[in-house]
Chains A and B, each alone.
Chain A
Amino acid sequence: MNVSRISMKNYARMMQLSGSASIDGSLIFDGVHLDLPHGEWTCLLGASGVGKSTILKLFAGLREGIDFHGQLRSEPRHIALMAQDDLLLPWLSTSDNVSIGSRLRGEKPDVDKVSDVLKRVGLRDHGKKKPHALSGGQRQRAALARTLMEDCPIVLLDEPFSALDAVTRANMQELTTSVLSGCTVLLVTHDPGEAARLGQNIFIMRKHGLQKIKSPSGSIPRSIDDHEVMKSQAELLKELRSGT
């Protein structure tokens, strides 16, 4: 991600959500107040169904079916999303998947930029392959390349590494933090270890609000075997269990 592009505006100022949300009349969450500090990684942990993905959707401007009451500051036009499922279109080549955003907006895809982005995620030689010919890790890297191609200063990550094996996951965490450096990132995750490694701000989400947890010191991605990271992971797990 181009840092100068990101620093053009202080989008982080706009990324704020506070209020409550219901779907089909049933309350998903209330009393939530979340600010996303500019250029930092914010991790949102919580049990399934607590409304983490609803928060992502609200920030992304996908309010259909969500009854939200409160204040929401966001800039959906400057947001990119990367989900747990790579969401690659199976009938397109990796290159065409990476540049799908341009075609969807009726713009001509920038071929040089596509190859540059593929190179950055280590898929330089896989551009012509269809997604079914890629491994799980490669597919997720292609999804990361597609996210980078959007060149957005704000990135929403919806459990993007949870379907990967442990080694691929650790590698992807490192690659993603490196290529998204300077971006404002909201990472939704189930994994306390991931939050402890990547979160500069960590929140546990419960039905009636967010609980801020002190994040370990040091720049991200933090080392897996760092004493503070391991301690934070244990604390996060304890907090999560206490809420169930």
Chain B
Amino acid sequence: MSGWKGAIAATLVGLAFWQSIIVISDVPRFILPPPTLVAETIWTSRALLAEHASITMIEVLLGLAFGALLGGLSAIVLAASPMARTLVRPMLVFSQAIPVFALAPILTLWLGYGLSSKIFMALIIIYFPITSSFFDALMRTNPEWLNLARIMGASPTRIMWHIRIPAAKPGFASGLRLAAVYAPIGAIIGEWVGASRGLGYLMLLANGRAKTDLMFAALLTLAILTVLLHTAINKLCDKTLDQKTVQ
């Protein structure tokens, strides 16, 4: 409960700060709308926000699922095969030198204006954190466990399945926790570049029409959904990866 109380207190402080800037600086509403107006817009435009939010969340969840699957499999292949490490790892590191933002127009060109380019964008942005943290965990398996398994006559595949993967679950979970925060960024970038639906699209639309209150409403909706997603992933990880039974 103290965590929730802290979050509510922090939100109230943030809102008070926001309101005080408006009162002190007398900034115009189309530059910075007051929190009360944004709250009102959230309420009056709830159907519109919900419609666009649902599209963004579908992109985020699918991107997260595919990214987790692909990142997980890549980490296992890299950990299992020294040759894969030699060939693929430098490419992975190089790929991180390319700004993901710069890829968005190309992805839209290749995959079109529909959901797939946004899902792919979310996937790309979370792929590296998941692969990297899961791979590191797979490479840190207690060497004594591995020795014992070898003495017992285990094959590398079975060692991977029965020991290395279960032992590396916390690493996968850390990657997934990060991914829950990064995936919405990918989807929004994709929507900015070319979309007709989604919260990113709504933000651009509202901005172009100087409806700053709607833009803030969309932004807040996205922030709230991201926090909820992160909390849900956290709970899922805590439940399935009970720390006492992992390390």
A interface residue numbers (CB < 8 A to B): 57, 60-62, 76-77, 79-81, 83, 85, 87, 89-91, 100-101, 103-106, 130, 132, 150
B147 within 8 A of partner (CB): yes
What is the predominant secondary structure among interface residues of chain B facing chain A? helix
Q: Is the CB of A62 within 8 A of B158?
A: no
A131 to B163, CA, bound (A): 15
What is the predominant secondary structure among interface residues of chain A facing chain B? mixed
Which among A81, A89, A130 is the interface contact of B151 at CB below 8 angstroms? Answer: A81
Give the interface centre of B159, B169, B246 by most chain A CB atoms within 10 Å.
B246
A77 to B151, CA, bound (A): 7
Q: Is the CB of B166 within 8 A of A91?
A: yes
Q: How far is the CB of A98 from chain B (nearest CB, A)?
A: 12
Q: Is the CB of A83 within 8 A of B144?
A: yes
Which among B149, B167, B244 is the interface contact of A130 at CB below 8 angstroms? Answer: B244
A104 to B246, CA, bound (A): 19
Q: How far is the CB of B32 from chain A (nearest CB, A)?
A: 51
Give the interface centre of A61, A77, A79, A90 by most chain B CB atoms within 10 Å.
A90
Give the interface centre of B144, B145, B147, B169 by most chain A CB atoms within 10 Å.
B147
Q: Is the CB of A104 within 8 A of B158?
A: yes
> Closest 6 A-B residue pairs measured CB to CB?
A104-B154, A101-B152, A91-B245, A132-B244, A81-B151, A105-B153
Which among A91, A104, A130 is the interface contact of B153 at CB below 8 angstroms? Answer: A104
A241 to B50, CA, bound (A): 78
Q: Is the CB of A105 within 8 A of B245?
A: no
Closest chain B residue to A76 by CB distance?
Answer: B151
B235 within 8 A of partner (CB): no
B25 within 8 A of partner (CB): no
A89 to B142, CA, bound (A): 10
Q: Is the CB of B154 within 8 A of A89?
A: no
Q: How far is the CB of B240 from chain A (nearest CB, A)?
A: 11
B89 within 8 A of partner (CB): no
8 CB-based A-B contacts, threshold 8 Å: A89-B166, A90-B245, A91-B166, A91-B246, A104-B158, A104-B163, A130-B244, A150-B152
List the A side residues contacting B166 at CB < 8 Å. Answer: 89, 91
Q: Is the CB of A61 within 8 A of B151?
A: yes
List the B side residues contacting A83 at CB < 8 Å. Answer: 144, 148
Number of residue pairs spanning A and B whose beta carbons lie under 8 angstroms apart? 61
A77 to B145, CA, bound (A): 17
List the B side residues contacting A91 at CB < 8 Å. Answer: 166-167, 169, 245-246
Q: Is the CB of A87 within 8 A of B158?
A: no
Q: Mark B156-196, 1 if CB is under 8 A from A, else 0.
A: 00110011001101000000000000000000000000000
List the B side residues contacting A81 at CB < 8 Å. Answer: 147-148, 151
B140 within 8 A of partner (CB): no
Which among A62, A100, A103 is the interface contact of B150 at CB below 8 angstroms? Answer: A62
Closest chain B residue to A106 by CB distance?
Answer: B158
List the A side residues contacting B145 at CB < 8 Å. Answer: 87, 89
Q: Is the CB of B153 within 8 A of A87?
A: no
Which among A61, A85, A130 is the interface contact of B144 at CB below 8 angstroms? Answer: A85
List the A side residues contacting B244 at CB < 8 Å. Answer: 90, 130, 132
Closest chain B residue to A81 by CB distance?
Answer: B151
List the A side residues contacting B2 at CB < 8 Å. Answer: none
Q: How far is the CB of B246 from chain A (nearest CB, A)?
A: 6
List the A side residues contacting B150 at CB < 8 Å. Answer: 61-62
Given A89-B163, A90-B244, A90-B246: A105 in contact with B144 (beta carbons within 8 A): no
Residues of B217-246 contacting chain A, CB below 8 A? 244-246
A151 to B160, CA, bound (A): 24
A117 to B144, CA, bound (A): 23
Q: How far is the CB of B234 from chain A (nearest CB, A)?
A: 19
Q: Is the CB of B154 within 8 A of A132?
A: no
Q: How far is the CB of B182 from chain A (nearest CB, A)?
A: 28
A60 to B150, CA, bound (A): 9
A80 to B150, CA, bound (A): 11
A100 to B149, CA, bound (A): 9
A150 to B149, CA, bound (A): 12
Residues of B119-154 contacting chain A, CB below 8 A? 142, 144-145, 147-154
Q: Is the CB of A62 within 8 A of B147?
A: yes
List the A side residues contacting B245 at CB < 8 Å. Answer: 90-91, 130, 132
